[in-house]
A and B are shown apart, each in its own frame.
Chain A
Amino acid sequence: MEHINFLITATPSSELHGGKGSKLINLIKIGANIPPGYIITTKSYEKFINESNYCDELKDLLSTSYSKHEVIEHSAKIIDLVMKTQIPEIIIKEIKRGHILLNYANSSFAVRSSASFEDSKHFSFAGQANTYLYQRNINDVIKSVKKCWASFFSPQALLYFLHIKKKNNSLSLDKIRMAIIIQKMVNASVSGVLYTSNILNNDRNQMLISSSWGLGESIVNNSVNPDMIILQKGNFKILEKTTGKKEKKSIPNSIRSGTVLIETNTFYREKFSLNDNQIRQLYDLGLKAENTFNYPQDIEWAFENEKLYTLQSRPITTLKN
């Protein structure tokens, strides 16, 4: 297939698979447990734009400079044209075939962006493009692919882009290439973020973990006050353990694709979300990832009971020397 590549056999090329996708492929190669799936390549995004009935207008908008005062209008124009563009039939065909080959007919899927300059050492693009979780059927997956592409041109994303352009003036919207990662959902009992250096005090000899019940979006989206652990590196030791309120948790919507936030009951609010075995697994993962990428990592993870899945790994962009 030309337009999608399975994670397990793909090459770690950020040009073809985006930063996030490329990192996931590298994580598979070092033995990390990644939810199975495939990547719709950046070539597919190029084909989507080039074969659009609005190609000339889109390319014009993407190459036009804009000020912060023009962001909302500029964003609306781009998103309108992206949403009106049909995904080429060959790409849809390969997505459907990919789903069959994954052989997870009754599973739900996560649809996530992976841009070609995402997750660099200087700019994380954290939260700038949308993620669509628990997409229950192939039609919802396909709709989410387009919505994911469109979300990269939201007002907040365009403003974030203006900010990074100050540091790298060669960047422009028409140089963005977006891959999309489709993966089987992890039915997470507990999820979170692992920093292989302590981002609160810049201590590279420590790790910091945020964790909470259910899906990790409740942490990255600020819906909860999570648990926090600080670990000593080199000689594994728990230095600090703080039980957060974990007042809500994100779970699958029982009726349609997507997720819902529900209240956490009192017992689980007071119970620490990670046991000792899970903390140790995260510590080992952190060391392995940092050694592989030769740089401190910001890792999103989830446990399905005692099985650890790595969802994303990117450089920590803000460490001070």
Chain B
Amino acid sequence: MKKIGNGLSCSSKSDAEGELVYIESINDVIEIFDEAEEKICLVNDAGTRILGSIFSDLKGVLCTTGGAGSHLATVSREFEIPCIMNLKVETKELTELNGKKAKISTDKENKGNLFLIN
């Protein structure tokens, strides 16, 4: 496993593994609508509202901005799925992460870590 990013863990502290999907628009959501199980969605600030339609299926949520007080973090807590806000990743082009197997974990100081699995 390789650690590629971290941020603030704002929801469930459980580990989660799944397939990364970078969501930029409602069209991206529609594309995975029937296969959202086992997915970990990655959004920037523009994508947060549209995730509501697949939240109940997701393994985790990652956002490149934001903090604990956002609607995304609040709803993540309600759905009890791991959520990392203000995620900083090594990868410059987030679309390169599409389809990669990943793991989210949280350490004692509420730091959320993102790993790529193999």
Which positions in A face B, CB cutoff 8 Å?
A: 68-69, 71-72, 123-124, 126-128, 155-157, 159-160, 162-163, 192-193, 195, 199-201, 208, 210, 219-226, 228, 244, 247, 298, 317-318
CA distance A285 to B7 in the complex (A): 29
Q: Please tell me if the beta carbons of B66 and A224 are within 8 angstroms of each other in the complex.
A: yes
A40, B98: Cα distance in complex, Å: 46
Which of these binds chain A: B17-25, B73-81, B89-97?
Answer: B73-81
A222 partner residues in chain B, CB cutoff 8 A? 45, 48, 63, 65-66, 70-72, 85
Q: Is the CB of B69 within 8 A of A123?
A: no
Q: Which residues of B contact A199 (CB under 8 A)?
A: 10, 68, 77
Which of B9, B26, B55, B70 touches A220 (beta carbons < 8 Å)?
A: B70
**Chain B min CB distance to A197 (Å):** 12
Output the nearest chain A residue to B50 by Cβ-Cβ distance: A156
Indicate if B99 sits at the interface (CB-CB under 8 A). Answer: no
Hey, which chain B residues are within 8 Å of A210, CB to CB?
A: 67-69
Q: How far is the CB of A222 from chain B (nearest CB, A)?
A: 4
Q: Is the CB of A318 within 8 A of B77?
A: yes
* Chain B residues positioned under 8 Å from A160 (CB to CB): 52, 55, 75
User: Could you pull out 21 A-B pairs where Cβ atoms are within 8 angstroms?
Assistant: A123-B78, A126-B71, A126-B74, A126-B75, A127-B52, A128-B52, A155-B53, A156-B52, A159-B52, A160-B55, A163-B79, A200-B8, A200-B10, A200-B68, A208-B68, A220-B69, A221-B70, A222-B65, A222-B66, A226-B67, A244-B67
Cβ of A200 and Cβ of B69 under 8 Å apart?
no
Any A CB within 8 A of the CB of B110:
yes
From 1 to 54 in chain B, residues with beta carbon under 8 angstroms from any chain A beta carbon are: 8-11, 26, 30, 33-34, 45, 48-54
Chain A positions within 8 Å of B79 at CB level: 163
Smallest CB–CB gap between B49 and chain A, Å?
A: 6
B86 touching A225, Cβ below 8 Å = yes
Bound: A208/B69 CA distance, A: 9
The 6 closest A-B pairs by CB, nearest first: A127-B71, A210-B69, A193-B69, A156-B52, A222-B66, A318-B77
Q: How far is the CB of A305 from chain B (nearest CB, A)?
A: 22
**Quick one: which of A127, A163, A192, A200 contacts B9, CB cutoff 8 A?**
A200
A321 to B30 CA separation, bound complex (whole angstroms): 37
Please give, as numbers and ranges, the residues of chain B lying within 8 Å of A220 by CB-CB distance: 69-71
